[in-house]
Amino acid sequence: MLLNLYSALIVTLTLVYLFYEYAIYRKFKLKNNYDNEQLKPIPETLVLLRQETQSIPDNIRIVLLLIAIIFFALYFGLAIILPLSIAEEQGKNAIDMILEISTALLPTFIETVFYVFMAFILSIYLNRQLSNERLILNETGINYFSPLPRKFKFLFPDWSINWNDIEATSLIKHTAPARLILKTKSTQKEILPSSWITPLNKQVCPTTNIFTKKYIEKIKRQPSYIKNSPLIRYIEQHANIKIQINNDNIFSKYDLNSNPKTQIISLILLFLVIYSVADFMFMLNDEVHISDPPWWIYSPVPAFIAASLFYIKKENIPLSTKTGLPLFLGFITLITCYPASLRINYLTDTEGLHSYEYINTTKNTFSPIKPNLPSINLNYISAGKNEYWNSIKQGNSHEFQLRKGSLGFYQLAMKPIYQKSRYWRCMQDVEKIERDPEKCDDLLDDD
């Protein structure tokens, strides 16, 4: 009974919250302030805020509030409602059970409250930092001010463009949202007009409301919204720059060979792809990881992404290429790390392969007789369904050849396993089709 009442209370609170959110959305939609704000005159100096970053701290606080409510409700249910409902069934005192369960859950409760509190403090800090992000347009040009602290501004630095230095402007409308591209001799900047709003518009736009967010996103997709955005209107009215509308696909227009740096990254990508395919075909047929490789073999992935981002960040290329090319390089690097780790471990091995005795302890799992050696799971090396392994009974031994190079992990030689498996199948056929046993012996020496 108590559990049912507790569940009904949670459902009721959820419905009340959703009804409150919907009421705010309806009030906002009826006023239609979001559209009307665009039609106001554009000042000579226009200060714009990024809508997404302005709403991040509020979104974090809402999420933290929901987490706190759920956690307190869960703690209340486990520490009070649950003991009251089961105490009589177990013949125990309800108060004693409440004290016992509450004491057991108290350390976890305090730890969670601490983390939620620290996250709330972080949201306050983020609110202070993100409020510094500005796009200021005046009679001389356009200036961007990054929200990051000074030590991290190299990731997203401040920048400025003089109106007289702009050689071409285009609005890419096929993307969602549309992108404004400003080109100069030395650089190219991409801006989302729909993301930049005036401080007054920020006050009338409750972006944390779950219903209002979808409504605003729908408005942003309308051509009239982009045309009437403060950024576009200022450039056309005050900077006297004609914006060219471009409906072509920018992803198919940019040639990676047109820039020396993107060309170098493309060559690196081509080399990694060729190497990965070649080593997957040859190295993985000979030796494999016994178990999941250590995480640090994938450490080149973030290093390659960061290095390539830094390498082309000042180049006059589309933003989609600036971000997509390094991410694709990271993905190919991730694939390459697996065979490359085996190859490096193989090349740096000075002792060669060693044979070790293993015992079949459970199905498809062999444990080493010698300590400090890894167990071998046949399913991991894709050999568990072979009939040869089913012939090795539990408790019987089997010899495996392992290698340990300078990277410190063991890798398993597959060639001896393939030979023994083929030999076993051949010997099984000797009795069935009267094959010459000497031909089976040749399989053990087959290269």
| Residue found under tokens 């009070």 | 80
Cα–Cα distance measured from residue 112 to residue 102, given in angstroms and rounded to the nearest whole number: 14
pLDDT computed for residue 221 by the predictor: 58
Phi-psi domain of 371 (left: phi exceeds 0; alpha: psi -120 through 50; beta: other)? beta
* pTM > 0.85: no
Q: Is 436 exposed, middle or buried (0-12, 13-18, 19+ CB in 10 A)?
A: exposed
Q: Alpha carbon 84 to chain centroid distance?
A: 43
Cis peptide before 177 (omega within 30 of 0): yes
* Domain ranges, ordered by start, for the chain: 1-251, 256-347
- Lookup: tokens for 261: 């740096």
Residue 223, both tokens: 């051509």
Tell which residue, 411, 392, 393, has the closest CA to residue 401: 411
Question: Please, what is the end-to-end C-alpha distance for the chain in angstroms?
Answer: 73
> Whose CA is closest to 309, among 296, 324, 291?
324
pLDDT tens string 126-176? 777 777 888 999 989 999 998 888 888 877 889 999 999 988 888 876 555
Query: In Å, what is the CA distance from 408 to each residue of 208, 296, 333, 363, 414?
Result: 50, 12, 21, 28, 19
pLDDT in tens, the chain (447 residues): 545 555 666 677 677 767 776 776 666 665 555 544 555 677 888 888 887 655 555 566 666 677 777 777 777 777 776 676 666 666 677 777 777 777 777 777 787 778 878 877 877 777 777 778 889 999 899 999 988 888 888 778 899 999 999 888 888 765 556 788 888 888 888 888 877 877 765 544 445 555 666 656 665 556 566 777 888 888 888 888 888 776 554 444 567 777 888 889 999 999 999 988 888 776 556 788 887 788 888 999 999 999 998 888 877 777 778 888 899 999 999 999 988 888 888 888 888 888 999 998 877 788 898 888 888 887 776 654 567 777 788 888 888 989 888 888 888 888 888 888 877 777 776 666 666 666 676 666 544
In this structure, are strands 179-183 and 168-172 parallel, antiparallel, or unpaired?
antiparallel
Contact present, 180 and 48 (Cβ < 8 Å): no
In what helix (H) or strand (E) does residue 12 lie, and over which residues does it extend?
helix 2-31
CB 209 within 8 A of CB 21: yes
